[in-house]
Amino acid sequence: MKINKRKILITGGSGFIGSHLVRRLLELSNEIIILDNFSTGRFENLRGVEDRISNIIEGDIQNLKDIEEALDEVDIIFHYAADPYVKDSVYNPVNNFEINVMGTLNLLEVMRKVGIKQIVFASSGGTLYGDVKMDKIPTKEDVQFNPISPYGASKASCESYLSAYSSSYDFIVTSVRFANIYGPFSDHGVMYDFFHKLKQNKEQLEILGDGSQIKSYMYISDCIDATLIAAENTNTGFEAFNLGVERVASVNEIANLVVKEMNLKDVEYIYTGGERGWVGDVKRSSLSIEKIKSLGWKPKFTLKEGVRKYINWLKEHENY
């Protein structure tokens, strides 16, 4: 089913990934409604397209009335609103649960009551699968969940409810399990962290853990392309798609790329400790993307190209 000329609700539409999705869906002649409490998103992320958005509701997925207002005559929901901070979830797991799981359940219940059937859910690849055995890397979509952070557990719980609502109420569900997504409008993550640390100190860079952590890093426009292909190819039931790239990189390699793009030399790396950057950090995450590739998608940006574009954007937006 092509996603064009539809009425679409995007929860978390002012956030990093959500705001890019807003722009792409507007290009496809869709009518867009946003529900966002702006706790982590920014209105400035929508600058230049705000007049083309039908309705921006400053509301919360923990409030049923806000959801009911946002869902008026909507065809599809892209559910991106969440508490996105993995590290913080370790210290405040109840808050993370209430926003991510209860907020999602609230949305599903209002959908069920008003008769809306299709939802695309922003899930997480690395945190959902957690520490997997080497023979399960790259990790396919059918590997058992093994979250090691409350954030990962919240995404696993949400997917369980989404699967249940698909089976019980004939919902059409696309779960897109993201790798580490980066690019313009991202205000967290390892590249953002390194850039701002190096702006403060051009001679030393603190790296959480020992720098050996291996992750998949995906540029934002590739992520949006893959998301729409996944959604358009989910016609019944529940479908999950890993969204990432085949090439993984260590945190040390990311540091090297950022240092190079900032035209710095002889930077000393200072490591904080062991193989995890923080409690709940996945040591190695490599997602199998064979399923999304089978639909004709492939990434357009190499890691080097993507990092260059993002760092150049950060240079132009130093106060972001």
Cis peptide bond upstream of 84, omega within 30: no
Residue type, 95: N
DSSP the chain: ---SS-EEEEETTTSHHHHHHHHHHHHTT-EEEEEE--SS--GGGGTTTGGG-SEEEE--TT-HHHHHHHTTT-SEEEE--S---HHHHHH-HHHHHIIIIIHHHHHHHHHHHHT--EEEEEEEHHHHH-S--GGG-SBPTTSPP---SHHHHHHHHHHHHHHHHHHHH--EEEEEEE-EEESTT---SHHHHHHHHHHH-SSEEEESTTS--EEEEEEHHHHHHHHHHHHHT--SSEEEEEE--S-EEEHHHHHHHHHHHTT--SPEEEE-SSSSSSTT--SB--B--HHHHTTT------HHHHHHHHHHHHHHTTT-
Residue type, 46: L
Q: How far apart are CA 320 and CA 312, in angstroms?
A: 13
**129 annotated active-site:** no
Task: With beta carbons less than 8 A apart as the criterion, state whether 129 and 83 touch.
Answer: no
Whole-Å CA distances, 294 to 57, 241, 289, 291 = 37, 11, 9, 5
80, 129, 151, 165: the active-site residue: 151
Residue type, 19: S
Task: Tell me the catalytic residues.
Answer: 151
